[in-house]
Structure 1
Amino acid sequence: MIAWRYLRARRAEGGVSVMTWISVIGITLAVFALIATMAVRAGFRSEFVNTILGANAHVTVYSSGQMDAQGQMSRGFADYDAVAAQLAAVPGVTRAAPVVRGQVMISANGQNSGAEIFGMKPEDVATIPSIAGGGDDMGDLAQFPNGIALGAGIARDLNVGVGDKVRLISADGVKTAFGTSPRVNAYTVTYVFTTGSPDIDRTRAYLPFAEAQAYFNAEGRADEFEVMVEDPENVEKYGDTLLAAGGQNAMVWTWKDGAGNYLRALTVEDNMMFILMSILVLIASMNIISGLVMLVKNKGRDIGILRTMGLTEGAILRVFFLCGAVTGLAGTIMGIVLGCLFALNFTAIFDWINWVAGGGVWDPSVRPIYHLSAKLQWHDVMSAAILSLILSFAVTIFPARRAARMNPVEALRYE
């Protein structure tokens, strides 16, 4: 009751309501900034991972190679249908597709673009989430067996669309007495896809599996298998089982192996951002000390009277501790509300900022995703709340102890 009376006291009565509001606003803004930063970081990480998982295999099963009858190293899988069935039978595997891969130059309209060709069966391409379900895709995926599917970046660089023809040029062509001649084939663009990753859209194209086998001189074999699993975040647990199902010379490469360095960098940045924003919360919490020190000074006579009436040091400490704790609690709650509202409405806010700035706030050409989003995670909210409350309560102890240890005789000497 006494603490609440002090908090809402007017300045003329010796209160510090102005300092209290400054403290509340400071903590509110600090907690809001912490939650907003962590939500944007989580959204970026989620978009990045979803882009990888939507267009790439969760696990790639490939062959380490073996010597053939001519003494040459032979890589790939000759019995790819049987191996694909074995991989698909592994518990937790949702899809296993044989793939033929190769690098080519694609030419059209006097323009050239390097690309990586994925030769896959039409039914397997239709199960790739970002290929079959993109909102900006052009063409009919059902026509894929009759031509080639290009990434949107390649199509833009070559200035081609659905129905146009492109030429694929591979340096590893037919071997003749005069050397190896380039292989050149023309294909009709039947589908243009957008995966959500500018890097993939600028470098990837799909050919029907049988056509890719013929083009890359891979008749009767597959280079590798694309495997999708139910729990890609814990993809490591499938490794041993997939190795056994892939055969004697099988090896595995997970999506985390390819993006591991980037994911670790994001984790380090997330931790550093949390630490830096925590310092901001600490600075805002220090305002509570200023307010309480002024409150203790103004209430010196009250403290002396209360002590002479029988209040203990512990009771006085609790009064002023509650004054600071309530300030920290109010600021934390308001910061959580603002931070959650910001994260939940981030897309609209970001679009408005982009419109005010005239566009170009987020340039996908230098980032691995097209759009920036925010993802509100409750453990981030709880971390921010706990941090703010701990710091607010901790900085309150010093001025509260000073008030509790005030000598009532000294406080009332000049009264």
Structure 2
Amino acid sequence: MILTPFEWTVAKRYLLPGRGEAFIALVAGISLVAVALGVAALVVVMSVMNGFRAELLDKIVGLNGHAIVQGYGGRIDDWEQVLAQARATKGVVKASPLVEQPLLVTYEGRVQAILLRGQTAPDIAALKPKVKSGSIATVAPDAGVVGIGARLAENLGAQVGDTITVINPVGRDTPFGTVPRQVAYRIGAVFEVGVYDYDNAFVILPLADAQTLLLSGDTIGMIEVTTQDADKVSEILAPLAKAVEGRAIITDWKAMNAQLFEAIAVERVAMFVVLSLIVLVAAFNILSSLIMLVRAKTRDIAILRTMGASRRSIMKIFLAIGGTIGALGTGAGLGLGYTFLFFRQNIVQFVQLVTGQNLWDPKIRFLTELPSRSDPMDIVGIVAMALGLSFVFTLFPAFKAAGTDPVQVLRYE
């Protein structure tokens, strides 16, 4: 819609009403602010929800891979053959043997449940960027050194250099029953993955040391597989699933975390629908402000009609007014939303300081920080919705203004 200089001049004049029309200007300003707040809320919430899903997926996949090949009974005896088949599967980027077993750990009288992970040297070295203290390089075969999660270290009150005792309930048989196997390990590194459940439970050991501790011999529990595309993991691993049928089962990240990611998807849609109501209310405000403007300018519109202004010109003027309010509100909302996202962690900390409440408890939220990742398609959809509603709710007052009959209005002037 292209405006002539005359139409644009009149539109600018009506966008800034005179002193006697301050109430109309106030309603229009409220409409602009409401659109901005609605757009900002949608941008912030959708970006945080996308960031939450992406960060959670990155951390879960980064630690567990895209899929797990798990043997029946928790054991894969011919794991070298299965590992070779996995690595030979088209689309598989990486496959590593893995031992994982829930056990207990004690330190100075404190006891806590842990999840022992026996990994290969390259997989252990991959944790180096996540190490908070110590050196992951010290976690080597036969060194008697382990790496533990940061939350686990806090709960035990242990730090790098301390010695913890790992308890395996499956120990040696004696005339008095089974004696649990207890092995002391020195903490060589404390790491933080960023997922609370992992940081609160994981103890990392070299694969051979984990097999010795668990008395499992040369067997493993599972094989961790990473593919080229996490969203197509089922299709990529379909040939491998047929090859290991009867010996092992393949579980991908979608199945392992189905409830979590499904809940995130449902919450994301629900939040979008609820917050869209803010933009809808703002559009109603635009409608009401333009209706009042049309009523206040009825005489002016009639004079413009008698001077030669067409119905189309009058309609374009009021469409431009409503569209400008919507566009300015949308632009302000985008700026406000991205400002909030940029300082999101500072804002969360400030609100926590003022209210005394923990707004982002990692025990509940899984992640240690408020994440954010904007999807361009979401932003385009939000902008299109805000501008579209502003345009639609401008149509009625624009048609009303264009239908003004100058003869009826100016009959007694």
TM-score normalised by length of structure 1: 0.88
Amino acid at match of 1:121: T
Amino acid at match of 2:313: A
1:96 matches 2:95: yes
Distance 1:342 1:158 in 2: 37
Partner of 2:259: 261
Alpha-carbon distance, 1:178 to partner = 5.3
| Equivalence map 1:44-63=2 (5 Å) | 44-63=52-71
Asked if the contact 1:58/1:254 (under 8 Å) is kept, the reply is yes
The CA deviation string for residues 272-318 of structure 1, in whole angstroms up to 9 with x for no partner, is: 11111110011112111222112111221222233344544333322
| Equivalence map 1:132-147=2 (5 Å) | 132-145=128-141, 146=143, 147=145
The CA deviation string for residues 173-208 of structure 1, in whole angstroms up to 9 with x for no partner, is: 224565433222222222222111121122221222
Asked if the contact 2:139/2:206 (under 8 Å) is kept, the reply is no
Amino acid at match of 1:63: G
The CA deviation string for residues 44-72 of structure 1, in whole angstroms up to 9 with x for no partner, is: 2222222212222321001235xxxxxxx
Alpha-carbon distance, 1:114 to partner = 0.9
1:118 matches 2:126: no
In the superposition, relative to structure 1, how do residues 15 and 284 fare at CA in structure 2: closer, same or farther (>3 Å)?
closer
Amino acid at match of 1:220: D
Distance 2:297 2:39 in 1: 30
Partner of 1:344: 342
- Give 5+ residue unaligned stretches, structure 1: 66-74
Asked if the contact 2:36/2:330 (under 8 Å) is kept, the reply is yes
User: In structure 2, which of residues 43, 47, 67 is the aligned counterpart of residue 39 of structure 1?
Assistant: 47
1:413 matches 2:407: no
Alpha-carbon distance, 1:25 to partner = 2.1
Partner of 2:15: 7
Alpha-carbon distance, 1:13 to partner = 7.9
TM-score normalised by length of structure 2: 0.89
The CA deviation string for residues 186-243 of structure 1, in whole angstroms up to 9 with x for no partner, is: 2222222211112112222122222222222211211111112232243223221332
Alpha-carbon distance, 1:172 to partner = 2.1
Partner of 1:69: none
User: In structure 2, which of residues 223, 226, 240 is the aligned counterpart of residue 225 of structure 1?
Assistant: 223
Alpha-carbon distance, 1:111 to partner = 0.9
Partner of 1:243: 241
Partner of 1:20: 28
Q: Secondary structure of the equivalent of 2:380?
A: helix
Distance 1:15 1:59 in 2: 62
Distance 2:166 2:286 in 1: 69
Alpha-carbon distance, 1:115 to partner = 1.1
- Give 5+ residue unaligned stretches, structure 2: 1-6
Alpha-carbon distance, 1:9 to partner = 4.0
User: In structure 2, which of residues 289, 292, 306 is the aligned counterpart of residue 291 of structure 1?
Assistant: 289
Amino acid at match of 1:101: E
Amino acid at match of 1:29: L
In the superposition, relative to structure 1, how do residues 150 and 144 fare at CA in structure 2: closer, same or farther (>3 Å)?
farther
| Equivalence map 1:73-222=2 (5 Å) | 76-127=75-126, 131-145=127-141, 146=143, 147-176=145-174, 179-222=177-220
Asked if the contact 2:72/2:248 (under 8 Å) is kept, the reply is yes
Q: Secondary structure of the equivalent of 1:376?
A: coil
Alpha-carbon distance, 1:102 to partner = 1.9
Distance 1:219 1:336 in 2: 59
Partner of 1:321: 319
Amino acid at match of 1:402: K
Distance 2:386 2:102 in 1: 53
Amino acid at match of 2:168: S
Deviates more, 1:312-321 or 1:21-30: 312-321
Asked if the contact 2:136/2:147 (under 8 Å) is kept, the reply is no
Q: Secondary structure of the equivalent of 2:132?
A: coil
Asked if the contact 2:150/2:190 (under 8 Å) is kept, the reply is yes
Amino acid at match of 2:76: F
In the superposition, relative to structure 1, how do residues 206 and 245 fare at CA in structure 2: closer, same or farther (>3 Å)?
farther
Alpha-carbon distance, 1:383 to partner = 1.5
Distance 2:191 2:16 in 1: 62
Alpha-carbon distance, 1:93 to partner = 2.2
Alpha-carbon distance, 1:82 to partner = 3.3
Amino acid at match of 2:54: S
Distance 2:275 2:48 in 1: 13
Deviates more, 1:323-332 or 1:84-93: 84-93
RMSD over equivalenced CA pairs, Å: 2.5
Distance 2:349 2:369 in 1: 10
Alpha-carbon distance, 1:244 to partner = 4.3
Amino acid at match of 2:368: Y
| Equivalence map 1:360-399=2 (5 Å) | 360-399=358-397
Amino acid at match of 1:37: V
Asked if the contact 2:290/2:322 (under 8 Å) is kept, the reply is yes
Asked if the contact 2:132/2:189 (under 8 Å) is kept, the reply is no
Distance 1:94 1:224 in 2: 17
Amino acid at match of 1:45: R
In the superposition, relative to structure 1, how do residues 206 and 15 fare at CA in structure 2: closer, same or farther (>3 Å)?
closer
Asked if the contact 1:343/1:375 (under 8 Å) is kept, the reply is no
Q: Secondary structure of the equivalent of 1:319?
A: helix
In the superposition, relative to structure 1, how do residues 201 and 379 fare at CA in structure 2: closer, same or farther (>3 Å)?
same
Q: Secondary structure of the equivalent of 2:60?
A: helix
